[in-house]
A = this chain, B = another copy of it.
Amino acid sequence: MQAALFFALLVLQGGGVVWHDVHAFGVEGKAWKGTKAPFDRLPAKAEAKVRKAVWDLSRDSAGMCVRFATDATAIHVRWKLTKKRLAMSQMPATGVSGVDLYVRHEGQWRWLAVGWPEFPVSSARLVAHLAKTQRQYLLYLPLYNGVSSVEIGVPSDAKIEKGKAPKHKPIVFYGTSITHGACASRPGMAHPAIVGRRLGYPIVNLGFSGNGRLETEVAELMAEVDAAVYILDCCPNLSGDEAGKRLGPCVRALRAKHPATPILVVEDRTYPSSFLVSHLRKRNSENRKSLRAAFDVLVTAGQKNLHYLRGEELLGVDGDDTVDGSHPTDLGFQRQAAAFLRVLRGILPR
């Protein structure tokens, strides 16, 4: 009798919502098991290996997502953030610290709902009034904040289970703030996420804001992940000299363990104000020249399965697709995803 009363109170308190830790379903985009905290992007051992800035940024949950299947008529999410700063001046809190829900519908991933963050614990009913039909869902975690726990809540009469995961090896992105997700309005709109949805591949996001610097210690960590493709997209955080000097060691660090896996080398996106601001035009030009020369050296030296994406293909020609002259908006990310998809479709096995 007492137990029944206690249970009734519990359900009442939770509004009839039963909460499930997402570890029950698995966290995609997390490439290592031995992490210091449950949603870290790099393994615990990396703390002694990479620069502090890289380590600190690796604790953001960028690129992580959870696949689940449920017949729930409503879906709730509760997530605990690690950082108080919910937003950036040029990126909204929904992208920095929010969660983003997609659903499989007629053979495609369709956006369904976003979760607005609060510090430290956010709890949101993402969607309600759904027909009681089993569906596949994909929940993206915050791009520029960390999470210490994530739970999915469904009504007590709902079934919920692990979702169908892609069978492919992941596409591993190593990059800058742009790869990290600045400045998407929601986590699902960063280009690695769009690429993953469109291709049906898992992705691993190793974007480190301001600190994607083609470092061999990061490449050595990447090489621990058995990837479908490795993407090296660090130019915006490097001078021309650095871009040229660092490409070779990074590629060789990957090749030491993966002699044949495709590697995609990406130039820096065109600064949209570079048509008037000459030092930005110069920076684009020097970075590209230097990266291309280093790439050609690798090819000439016999490296196989190296691919190249030109920077001028990444954004549009109207100059209107960044928020600040550097970071894509959702418009820029959609265009950038299209550029990656064009080249990746030629690289990935059919």
A70 at the interface (CB under 8 A from B): no
* A321, B330: Cβ atoms closer than 8 Å: yes
- Choose the segment among A91-99, A140-148, A149-157, A162-170 that binds chain B (4+ C-beta atoms closer than 8 Å): A91-99
Complex CA–CA separation, A322 to B93 (angstroms):
15
* B129, A277: Cβ atoms closer than 8 Å: yes
Identical chains in the assembly: 2
CB distance from A330 to the nearest CB of B (A): 4
A110 at the interface (CB under 8 A from B): yes
A194 to B, closest residue via Cβ: B320
* A189, B92: Cβ atoms closer than 8 Å: no
A111 at the interface (CB under 8 A from B): yes
Once A323-B185, A331-B334 are accepted as A-B contacts, the answer to whether A93 and B90 lie under 8 Å apart by CB is yes
* A275, B320: Cβ atoms closer than 8 Å: no
- Chain B neighbourhood of A325, CB < 8 A: 113-114
* A129, B279: Cβ atoms closer than 8 Å: yes
A117 at the interface (CB under 8 A from B): yes
List which A201-239 residues lie within 8 A (CB) of chain B.
Answer: none
- Chain B neighbourhood of A260, CB < 8 A: none
* Sample (18) of A-B pairs whose CB atoms are under 8 Å apart: A89-B93, A90-B185, A92-B92, A105-B276, A110-B272, A110-B276, A113-B273, A113-B325, A114-B324, A128-B277, A129-B277, A131-B276, A189-B320, A320-B334, A329-B330, A329-B331, A330-B330, A330-B331
